[in-house]
Amino acid sequence: MYDNALQDLVLSGVQWEINESPNAPIAVEKPNQTTTAGAHITTIVPPIAPVQTISIATATAMAARPTDIESLCRMISEFNHPLRKAATNVVLPHIAPNPNGIAILTDMPSSDDDASGNILSGANGDMIDKMLNAIEMGRYSVSLIPMLFWRTPGGRTPNTEEIALARPFVERIIEMIKPKIILTLGTLPAMEFGNVQLAKSHGIPVDTPYGAKIIPIYHPNYMALKPSVKRDVWNVLQNVQNLLKTV
């Protein structure tokens, strides 16, 4: 294993993944210090971790290792993403115990999610649950996946690097659960995973490399601010119910 890869793994927090010995401490002679016999004193200086972020290549390699959801979630929990220090909790995906082929991909944890450690909690979760229940679905059958597993400071929009470092884990989750339809909530997931603009593509199925159709819908936050769009989302969910029978 190359030094850079070892450094990435140390930075990422997954120490149990390292199976090679780290670099040996460096012995440095300080000639200005002498013993009473006039001999040099050798001072042992421990290796210093490099000031750098984890590489996307390392995140991708780490996400590929787990062979089941439980191991993958453990890997996510231990991953030292740049947002982890500021977050209260790691917000892991909810995997439906009785999946019906639908997954919901949301943007990032809300303040409620960050406090509880559960995705789509609080008012946003209540709204989604009511809509799913109305079409005879719920969290028992629909998986919920955040694009990021850590809340951004103040709920700001995540930057490109923050999204890119979490993306391999999100894609690995999708690969494992194999949904037929992915509903994206809000602008960011629609653009990042569906490569579409929500305003122009709301409710329109998009083919993806994941073997699933992505259908962008408005985020619960937007529905709360503009209740009139709830009808649009309701119509899409009814179409999803019918589409699920054909995919």
Per-residue pLDDT band for 36 (boundaries 50, 70, 90) equals: very low
Residue 17 reports pLDDT greater than 50: no
Report pLDDT for 247: 76
Report pLDDT for 245: 81
DSSP, res 99: -
**How far apart are alpha carbons 224 and 222 in whole angstroms?**
5
Which one is predicted more confidently, 210 or 17? 210
Which one is predicted more confidently, 232 or 246? 232
What integer is the mean pLDDT of 218-240?
A: 94
Report pLDDT for 105: 98
What domains sit in the chain, N to C, each tagged with a CATH number? Answer: 3-45 (no CATH), 81-243 (3.40.470.10)
Residue 5 reports pLDDT greater than 50: no
DSSP, res 140: T
**How far apart are alpha carbons 43 and 52 in whole angstroms?**
26
What integer is the mean pLDDT of 72-93?
A: 96
Report pLDDT for 6: 44
What integer is the mean pLDDT of 55-81?
A: 95
Strands, DSSP E only, in the chain?
26-34, 40-45, 102-106, 142-146, 181-185, 206-207, 213-217
Which tokens hold the place of 12?
Answer: 């990422």
pLDDT tens per residue across span 177-192: 999 999 999 999 999 9
